[in-house]
Structure 1
Amino acid sequence: MNDIAINDKSTGTLFRRALDKKLTSGISRQHQDSLRYVYNHFMTFLGDEGREKPLKSLTTGQIEIFLQQFNTSATHYMNKRRDLSVLFNTACRLIDKNLMTIRKTEVRRIKATLHLAYEREQLQPVLDFLKVNHTNLYRCALMTYGCLLRPHEEIRLLTKGHFKMNNTEIHLDGTENKGGRVRTVFVPDYVREELEPVLNTIGRDDNIFSLNKEPFNNSYFAKQWSREKKKLLSHGLIYPKQTLYSFRHTAAIDVFRRTKDVYMVQKIMGHSSVLVTLKYLRSLGEFNTEELRSVAPVL
Structure 2
Amino acid sequence: MNDILNKDTSTGALFSRALDKKLTSGISKQHQDSLRHVFNHFMRFLGPDGRETPLKDLTTGQIEAFLQQYNTSATHYMNKRRDLSVLFNTAGRMIDEYLMTVRKTEVRRIKATLHLAYEREQLQPVLGFLKANHINLYRCALMTYGCLLRPHEEIRLLTKKHFKMNNTEIHLEGNENKGGRVRVVFVPDYVREEFEPVLNAIGRDDNIFSLAKEPFNDSYFSKQWSREKKKLLSHGLIYPKQTLYSFRHTAAIDVFRRTKDVYMVQKIMGHASVLVTLKYLRSLGEFNTEELKAAAPVL
The one-character-per-residue Cα deviations of 1:40-69 (angstroms, maximum 9, x if unpaired) are 110011111111111110000000001111
Give the equivalent residue in structure 2 for 1:82. 82
Aligned counterparts of 1:293 and 1:280: Cα–Cα separation in 2: 19
* 1:105 counterpart residue number: 105
- How far apart are 1:298 and its partner, in Å? 3.5
In structure 2, distance between residues paired with 1:250 and 1:202? 31
Aligned to 1:239: 239
Runs of 4+ aligned structure 1 residues displaced above 6 Å come to: none
Structure 1: how far apart are the matches of 2:240 and 2:70?
25
- CA separation in 2, counterparts of 1:16 and 1:165? 43
Tell me, what secondary structure is at the counterpart of 1:132? Answer: helix
Query: 1:175 aligns to what SS in structure 2?
Result: helix
Cα distance, 1:124 vs structure 2: 1.0
Q: Deviations over 1:187-236 (max 9, x none)?
A: 00000000001001000000000001010000000000000000000011
Counterpart of 2:208 in structure 1 is: 208
Letter of the structure 2 residue corresponding to residue 178 of structure 1:
K
Aligned equivalent of 2:155:
155
Equivalent residue number for residue 46 of structure 2: 46
Amino acid across the alignment from 1:272: A
The separation in 1 between residues aligned to 2:22 and 2:59, in whole angstroms, is: 23
Match of 1:264 in 2: 264
Give the whole-Å Cα distance in 1 for the aligned partners of 2:174 and 2:24.
14
How far 1:288 sits from its partner (Å)? 1.5
Cα distance in 2 for residues equivalent to 1:100 and 1:162: 42
> Aligned residue for 1:166?
166
Correspondence list, 1:1-299, <5 A: 6-299=6-299
SS in 2 for 1:200: helix
Within 1, Cα distance between the matches of 2:286 and 2:241? 18
One-letter amino acid of the counterpart of residue 14, structure 1 = L
TM-score normalised by length of structure 1: 0.97
Bigger mean CA offset, 242-251 vs 21-30:
21-30
Deviation at 1:27, TM superposition (A): 1.1
Q: Paired residues, what number?
A: 297
Question: In structure 2, the residue corresponding to 1:109 is in which secondary structure?
Answer: coil
Q: Which amino acid aligns with 1:29?
A: K
Structure 1 distance, partners of 2:27, 2:244, is 24
Counterpart-to-counterpart distance in 1, 2:79 and 2:49:
27
Q: Distance in 2 between matches of 1:218 and 1:134?
A: 18
Q: Return the offset for 1:185.
A: 0.4
CA distance in 1 between partners of 2:54 and 2:144 (Å): 47
Q: Distance in 1 between matches of 2:190 and 2:137?
A: 16
Q: Distance in 1 between matches of 2:152 and 2:103?
A: 30
Q: Show structure 2 runs of 5+ residues with no match.
A: none
Q: Aligned letter for 1:206?
A: D
How much is the aligned-residue C-alpha RMSD, in angstroms? Answer: 1.4
Separation in 1, partners of 2:65, 2:190: 52
Q: What CA deviation, in whole Å up to 9, does each residue of 1:109-129 have, x standing for no partner?
A: 111000010011111111011
Q: CA deviation at 1:291?
A: 1.7
- AA paired with 1:36? R
Letter in 2 for 1:85: S
User: Shift of residue 28 of structure 1?
Assistant: 1.2
Letter in 2 for 1:78: M
**2:222 is aligned with what amino acid?**
A
Kindly state the Cα deviation for residue 96 of structure 1 after the two structures are TM-superposed.
1.0
In the TM superposition, what is the alpha-carbon distance from 1:297 to its structure 2 partner? Answer: 3.5
Deviation at 1:7, TM superposition (A): 2.2
Q: Which runs of 5+ in 1 are unaligned?
A: none
- State how far apart, in whole Å, the 2-side matches of 1:63 and 1:292 are: 44
Instruction: Give the Å deviation of 1:99.
Output: 1.1
* SS class of match (2:201): coil
Instruction: State how far apart, in whole Å, the 2-side matches of 1:73 and 1:285 are.
Output: 25
> Secondary structure of the equivalent of 1:138?
helix
Which whole-Å CA distance do the structure 2 matches of 1:265 and 1:54 have between them? Answer: 49
